[in-house]
């Protein structure tokens, strides 16, 4: 008998803390091999750390310098809307390395489990958000 596939949709709760945790993992080791700098766009820190800015409505600017060419410099801007799109792209990827969603048995909602987001997963989410695909790694 052949396997059957059904498509379902779900609502997923994403908290400010989830965004902060994923961005912390991305900035502390996930994206460092292709982004050599990340700056807060408004110039002022809304939180104690740069990774806390997306959840507060700010934008981060990533600097990507292509190897062997100091003049070939590119900047990419990440805001919460792009981040959420990158997260959605990761979740829809059938070949993603880890499942990062769990069900909260108490209230029956799906939620992110940022404890399952390692540097590779955080990197993938940010790359999806900035480039629409995985370019590096």
Single pTM value for the model = 0.85
Contact 55, 73 (CB under 8 A): no
Give the model confidence (pLDDT) of 59-84 as tens digits: 999 988 676 555 667 889 999 999 99
Domain ranges of the chain: 12-131
**3 CB-near residues (< 8 Å, 6+ apart):** none
* Structure-model confidence comparison of residues 35 and 70, the more confident one: 35
* Structure-model confidence comparison of residues 69 and 135, the more confident one: 135
* Structure-model confidence comparison of residues 10 and 100, the more confident one: 100
Q: What angle do CA 72, 123, 34 make, to 5 degrees?
A: 20
Give the model confidence (pLDDT) of 98-121 as tens digits: 889 988 777 778 888 888 999 999
60: β partners: 40, 78
Contact 127, 136 (CB under 8 A): yes
- pLDDT of 48 reads 66
What order of strands is seen across the sheet that includes strand 60-65? 37-40, 60-65, 73-78
Query: Phi, psi at residue 40, to the nearest 5°?
Result: -80, 130
Q: What angle do CA 74, 46, 129 make, to 5 degrees?
A: 40
Q: Which two tokens stand for residue 24?
A: 């912390």
* Band of residue 55 on the pLDDT scale cut at 50, 70, 90: confident
* Band of residue 4 on the pLDDT scale cut at 50, 70, 90: confident
Contact 133, 85 (CB under 8 A): no
Stretch 36-65: mean pLDDT: 79
Tell me the C-alpha distance between 82 and 134, whole Å: 14
* Structure-model confidence comparison of residues 31 and 108, the more confident one: 31
């Amino acid at each position: 008998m052949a396997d059957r596939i059904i498509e379902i949709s779900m609502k997923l709760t994403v908290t400010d803390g989830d965004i902060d945790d994923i961005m912390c993992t991305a900035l502390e080791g996930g994206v460092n091999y292709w982004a050599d700098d990340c700056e807060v766009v408004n110039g002022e820190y809304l939180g104690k750390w740069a990774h806390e800015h997306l959840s507060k409505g700010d934008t981060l600017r990533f600097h990507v310098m292509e190897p062997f060419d100091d003049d070939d410099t590119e900047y990419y801007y990440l805001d919460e809307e792009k981040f959420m799109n990158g997260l959605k792209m990761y979740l829809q990827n059938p070949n993603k390395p880890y499942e990062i969603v769990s069900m909260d048995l108490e209230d029956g909602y799906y939620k992110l489990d940022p404890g399952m987001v390692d540097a590779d997963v955080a990197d993938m989410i940010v790359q999806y958000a900035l480039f629409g695909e995985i370019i590096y790694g």
